[in-house]
Amino acid sequence: MTDRETSVLLDELAGRVPVGPPPTAQLLRAGRRARRRRAAGATLAVAAGVAVVVGGIVTVVDPAPDGAAPAPMVVAEEPGAGPPATPEAGQEAESAAGSAMSQLPQDPTAGRTGPLADGGAASCVAEYSPAAVEERDFAFAGVVIEIGPTVTDRSGEPGPDLVGVTFTVQEWFSGGEGTTVTVDVPAPAGSSAGSGRGPVYGVGSRLLVSGEDRWGEGALADPIAWMCGFTRYYDKATAASWR
């Protein structure tokens, strides 16, 4: 075919093509459909790919066509929860608790049970029972770490031979909080502060103590331990009944 014949044929074909307004609406609809397809494709990439969790990061590996290397896509990163608990960690915690207990002074009254005997010096205004302990202002289990001057005596107010006993509190049953408390207790037997008829205890003694404020101004404003069974050598069964 000559160049002239080719030109004539193209002119004829051009004349057969209909001419009208541009298809704007169709083009816009086609563009929206293309955007929706792209969004759906990005969402389906997670479902179609393989999710891999490494170090708290969720990665989707989408299979690539034609044998190409898969391209990982990071979807989300989860906060690290720390290393899992191990038996060794539990043993370390128990060891630390045991070490704290071992730092307390040795109990000079270990093996004793029952109430601290006061030699009959105390005047009992209530009969001891675990239920009666609930009626006292405070109750706790603790270890004696210091014995010092009374903390409840007032000038001009005569009273029994008392000493201020500081405890490391192991458990509060009622009336207080904190790790230490100082309570007036009858002076221990054989001490210079007492008459020699006081109860048997000393630094390191583990006791169950309950009592009330000496002057009625608040549970631990001027705390004094009650005797008559309300202050006792520690044992698990009694502690459970107080609890």
Q: What is the pLDDT of residue 46?
A: 39
How far from 239 is each of 171, 203, 233, CA to CA, in Å? 9, 20, 10
Q: What is the DSSP string of 141-194?
A: EEEEEEEES-SS--TT-----EEEEEEEEEEEEES--SSEEEEEEEPPTT-TTS
Q: Is residue 202 part of a domain?
A: yes
Q: What is the pLDDT of residue 189?
A: 87
Q: Is residue 3 part of a domain?
A: no
Contact between 194 and 188 under an 8 Å Cβ cutoff? The reply is yes
| pLDDT tens, residue by residue, 97-135 | 455 556 777 999 999 999 998 766 567 788 999 999 999
Tokens at residue 135, please?
A: 């009626």
Q: Looking at the structure, tell me whether residues 217 and 150 fall in a common domain.
A: yes
Q: Looking at the structure, tell me whether residues 238 and 134 fall in a common domain.
A: yes
Q: What is the pLDDT of residue 209?
A: 98
Please give the residue range of the domain that contains residue 73.
47-79
Q: Is residue 11 part of a domain?
A: no
Q: Say which residue the tokens 């003694």 belong to.
A: 205
Q: Looking at the structure, tell me whether residues 225 and 154 fall in a common domain.
A: yes
Cα–Cα distance between 95 and 41 in angstroms, integer? 56
Q: Is residue 64 part of a domain?
A: yes
- Position 75 pLDDT exceeds 60: no
Q: What is the pLDDT of residue 117?
A: 85
Q: Is residue 106 part of a domain?
A: no
Average pLDDT of the chain, as a whole number? 73
Q: Looking at the structure, tell me whether residues 70 and 158 fall in a common domain.
A: no
Mean pLDDT for 182-204 is 85
- How many independent structural domains does the chain possess? 2
Break the chain down into helix, strand, coil percent, rounded to 5: 30, 25, 45
Q: Of the given ranges (27-36, 98-107, 179-188, 190-199), which has the lowest mean pLDDT?
A: 27-36
Q: What is the pLDDT of residue 79?
A: 41
- Position 45 pLDDT exceeds 80: no
Q: Is residue 144 part of a domain?
A: yes
Q: Looking at the structure, tell me whether residues 134 and 74 fall in a common domain.
A: no
Q: Looking at the structure, tell me whether residues 136 and 70 fall in a common domain.
A: no
Q: What is the pLDDT of residue 152?
A: 92
Q: Looking at the structure, tell me whether residues 134 and 215 fall in a common domain.
A: yes
Radius of gyration of the chain (CA): 43
Q: Looking at the structure, tell me whether residues 151 and 231 fall in a common domain.
A: yes
* CATH number where 149 lies: 2.40.50.120
Mean pLDDT for 227-232 is 95
Q: What is the pLDDT of residue 207?
A: 98
Q: Looking at the structure, tell me whether residues 144 and 231 fall in a common domain.
A: yes
